[in-house]
Structures are given as structure tokens and as C-alpha cells.
């Protein structure tokens, strides 16, 4: 297998970032070179492609959900079409998809530009490998330029088509929240919600137990349970259970009052929106990473392997039939031949004059020799 010299055609990660662009988000964060495998190696072709894709995975995978302010939550509540309350699940979806779209779309364009730059670097490498394999293109500059132009057009159109496919996925993921897709880590969300629901539950249970204890103390239940008839015990048990039911109903009313019936942002509602936004954002990020890498591999890398040779052959065949000058410059060749003809004519005239001089010299020498013999 013929390998091009890395010192001539390879690029380190630093040079690749300078020439092909970097992966930077809204905070202009760049991944340190030491965190990337083969960062100091001069790579080209497939190795450089996969290094760029690995950097994309690391950078996007390390992104966290942008901060959320109380003003954003209140403004995102918007207006409902049938009541003046709030729907915090809708609010969380609005905030999450907006932040996800603003965060991930720039990375998609940066990845497209970087990979297109890597693909366009293959043209001079291919020419070098062909020449090293015995083919010579030094006298066919027009043909080489034609092939390079066809390859660049193919790479650009393929990259644009692939980027549009990825944009469709990102738009669909950030247009409509599908809970089976956006909420994969339900255990983490449940743990987060339990972290602030449990203290409220504990407080309510303590309040209920305290109320029941005061009631028993005031009526002397602990001293007279054994002397009471069963009916009285049953009625006493019923009366003991009523405070708990009343507290539950009160907590339900408070929950509705905090989350539905008014627009005052309670701490529990704020934390609920915060948890949902982070959960949806994380789901969008995972889906974006998987689909983007899959589509670039299938619709950008594989067409170079599967379709490029046939496309170049068709392009050259059509050029041979329709426009031969685009492959071999007949005009330039005619001009070159005319120039050589003029040079040969001048050289021929010089040779004729030189021949005439030698003829005269020969005649003089012959006449001189005849005189000496006489």
C-alpha cells in the first residue's frame, strides 16, 4: 500500500483548527489538545476525518444546559388558549428546545466546514500517490484541474445534502418534544424530583402526627382505649384519619395554586421547570450526537468511497464528447506547437547559414591545396 509522507501532507490538530475552523460554542470554549487522541500527529484522509469526528463528540458531549433565569421561566409561560393559568411542562419544553437549537446548530455548521476542508485536501494527495505509482500528470495540468474541480463540486454538494439532512433532524427534535425520546433518563429525573418532594412530605407527615398527638392528649385516648366499646374505637379511628385526609386535600389545593391557578413562580415550580429543561436538553443532545455522526458517515464519507469514481468517469466522458478543450487545451497546444515551429525555423536558418560558411571554408581550403600542389 502506498502511503503519502505525513510531513508533507499531514496536519496536526492545531494546524487543522487554524485552517479548517474550531468547535466553539457560545462561551468560546475549546477542548485542550492534550484531551484529544493523536492531537500531535500529522494526519490526513480517513484518520484526520475520524479525529475531527472524535473531537466533535467530546466537545458537544461535554456541553451542559445553559443557565435558566426566573425571568425566562415567567416569560415562557406565555398565554394559554382557554385559561389564564400556567402550564409548566409546556414552559419547560419551550425553554429547552430554544436553548438546544441555539446551542447545537452552530456546531453542525462547524462540523460540516471542518469535514469538507479535510475532504478537499485529498486531491493533491491522490495526485501524489498516482505519480508515485507510475502515473505522470506533470504534462496534463488541464486534466488535473478538471478532475480537481469535479471532485470539489461533488464534495461540496454531498456536504450540503448531508448538512440539510442533519438540520432536518435537529429541527424535528427541537420543534416537538416527544417524551419517549427526550426523557430517556427517567430514573435521574425521579431522583431529582424526590430530592425536594421528600422534605415536603416529611414536613406534612410531622404536622399530621403532631395534630393527631394533640387530639389524643386532649381526649385522653391513651388512658381509656381498653374501656371503650368497639363502636367508639371505630369512630375514634375514623376521627383520627380525617386530619390526614384534610392535610392531603390542603396540599393538593396548594399544589394547584402554585402550579396552575396563578403566575407567581413558587420555588417548587422553579425547580420543576429546571429539572424538566435539563432533562429535555440532555435528551436532545444525545439524539443530536448520534444522528449527526451517523448521517455524516453514511451521507458524506460513504459517497466518497462508493460514488466518486463513477461520477468522475461520467464527467470526463461528457467532457471528451462535448468540450475537449476543458480536458486537453487544443488552443494552448496549437500555440505551443506554433512556437516550437518558429523556433525550429530560426534554428534551420541558422544551420543553413552555418552550412554555407562551412561550404565557403571548404572551397577556400580546396583552392589553397590545389595551388600548393601546382
Q: Are residues 153 and 214 in the same domain?
A: no
Q: Are residues 207 and 140 in the same domain?
A: no
Instruction: List pLDDT tens digits, range 327-364.
Output: 666 676 677 788 889 999 999 999 999 999 999 898 88
Q: Are residues 131 and 218 in the same domain?
A: no
244, 267, 290 — which closes off a domain?
A: 267
Q: Are residues 207 and 58 in the same domain?
A: no
335 belongs to a structural domain: no
Q: Are residues 67 and 180 in the same domain?
A: yes
Q: Are residues 263 and 279 in the same domain?
A: no
374 belongs to a structural domain: no
373 belongs to a structural domain: no
100 belongs to a structural domain: yes
C-alpha closest to that of 300 among 31, 53, 14: 53
Range of the domain at 133: 6-185+275-326
Please state, in angstroms and rounded to a whole number, the distance separating the CA atoms of residues 141 and 186: 61
144 belongs to a structural domain: yes
Identify whether the C-beta of residue 24 lies closer than 8 Å to the C-beta of residue 30. yes
267, 283, 299 — which closes off a domain?
A: 267
Q: Are residues 171 and 67 in the same domain?
A: yes
Q: Are residues 77 and 169 in the same domain?
A: yes
Please state, in angstroms and rounded to a whole number, the distance separating the CA atoms of residues 193 and 185: 13
User: Rounded to two decimals, what is the model's pTM?
Assistant: 0.69
Cα 53 to Cα 36, 37, 159: the distances in Å are 11, 12, 14
**Residue written as cell 478543450?**
325
Please state, in angstroms and rounded to a whole number, the distance separating the CA atoms of residues 301 and 306: 9
Domain tally, the chain: 2
Q: List the pLDDT tens digit at each of the 374 positions of the chain.
A: 458 889 999 999 999 999 999 998 766 677 778 888 899 999 999 999 999 999 999 999 999 999 999 899 888 887 776 666 677 888 999 999 999 999 999 999 999 999 999 999 998 888 888 777 766 665 567 778 888 888 999 999 999 999 999 999 999 999 988 877 766 655 555 655 555 454 445 444 444 444 444 444 444 444 444 444 444 444 444 444 455 555 566 665 555 556 555 666 777 788 888 988 998 999 999 999 999 999 999 999 999 889 888 888 887 777 777 665 556 666 766 777 888 899 999 999 999 999 999 998 988 888 888 888 76
66 belongs to a structural domain: yes
pLDDT for 210 equals 46
Instruction: List pLDDT tens digits, range 165-222.
Output: 999 999 999 998 887 776 665 555 565 555 545 444 544 444 444 444 444 444 444 4
Return all residues near 307 (Cβ < 8 A) that are at least 6 apart.
154
C-alpha closest to that of 250 among 203, 309, 316: 203
Q: Are residues 176 and 309 in the same domain?
A: yes
Q: Are residues 139 and 240 in the same domain?
A: no
307, 326, 345 — which closes off a domain?
A: 326
Q: Are residues 233 and 300 in the same domain?
A: no
Element (DSSP H or E) covering residue 172: helix 141-175
111 belongs to a structural domain: yes
345 belongs to a structural domain: no
Q: Are residues 110 and 41 in the same domain?
A: yes
Radius of gyration (Cα) for the chain, nearest Å?
Answer: 41
Amino acid at each position: 500500500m502506498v502511503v503519502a509522507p505525513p510531513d508533507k501532507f499531514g496536519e496536526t490538530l492545531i494546524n487543522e483548527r487554524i485552517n479548517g475552523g474550531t468547535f466553539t460554542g457560545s462561551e468560546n470554549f475549546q477542548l485542550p489538545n492534550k484531551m484529544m487522541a493523536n492531537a500531535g500527529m500529522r494526519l490526513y484522509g480517513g484518520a484526520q476525518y475520524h479525529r475531527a469526528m472524535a473531537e466533535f463528540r467530546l466537545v458537544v458531549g461535554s456541553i451542559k444546559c445553559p443557565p435558566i433565569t426566573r425571568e425566562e421561566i415567567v416569560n415562557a409561560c406565555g398565554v394559554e388558549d382557554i385559561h389564564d393559568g400556567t402550564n409548566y411542562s409546556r414552559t419547560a419544553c419551550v425553554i429547552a428546545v430554544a436553548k438546544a437549537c441555539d446551542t447545537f446548530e452552530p456546531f453542525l455548521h462547524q462540523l460540516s466546514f471542518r469535514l469538507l476542508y479535510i475532504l478537499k485536501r485529498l486531491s493533491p494527495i491522490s495526485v501524489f500517490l498516482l505519480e508515485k505509482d507510475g502515473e505522470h500528470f506533470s504534462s496534463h495540468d488541464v486534466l488535473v484541474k478538471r478532475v480537481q474541480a469535479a471532485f470539489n463540486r461533488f464534495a461540496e454538494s454531498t456536504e450540503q445534502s448531508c448538512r440539510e439532512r442533519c438540520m432536518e433532524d435537529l429541527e424535528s427534535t427541537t420543534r416537538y418534544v416527544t417524551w419517549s425520546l427526550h426523557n430517556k433518563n427517567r430514573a435521574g429525573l425521579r431522583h431529582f424530583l424526590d430530592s425536594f418532594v421528600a422534605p415536603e412530605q416529611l414536613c406534612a407527615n410531622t404536622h399530621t402526627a403532631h395534630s393527631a398527638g394533640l387530639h389524643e392528649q386532649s381526649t385522653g385516648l391513651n388512658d381509656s382505649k381498653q374501656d371503650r366499646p368497639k363502636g367508639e374505637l371505630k369512630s375514634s379511628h375514623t376521627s383520627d384519619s380525617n386530619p390526614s385526609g384534610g392535610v392531603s386535600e390542603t396540599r393538593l389545593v396548594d399544589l394547584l395554586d402554585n402550579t396552575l391557578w396563578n403566575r407567581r413562580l413558587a420555588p417548587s415550580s422553579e425547580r420543576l421547570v429546571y429539572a424538566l429543561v435539563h432533562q429535555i436538553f440532555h435528551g436532545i443532545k444525545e439524539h443530536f450526537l448520534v444522528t449527526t455522526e451517523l448521517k455524516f458517515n453514511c451521507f458524506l464519507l460513504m459517497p466518497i468511497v462508493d460514488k466518486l469514481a463513477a461520477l468522475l468517469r461520467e464527467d470526463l466522458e461528457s467532457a471528451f464528447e462535448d468540450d475537449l478543450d476543458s480536458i486537453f487545451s487544443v488552443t494552448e497546444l496549437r500555440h505551443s506547437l506554433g512556437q516550437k515551429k518558429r523556433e525550429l525555423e530560426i534554428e534551420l536558418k541558422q544551420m543553413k547559414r552555418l552550412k554555407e560558411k562551412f561550404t565557403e571554408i571548404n572551397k577556400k581550403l580546396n583552392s589553397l591545396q590545389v595551388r600548393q600542389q601546382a
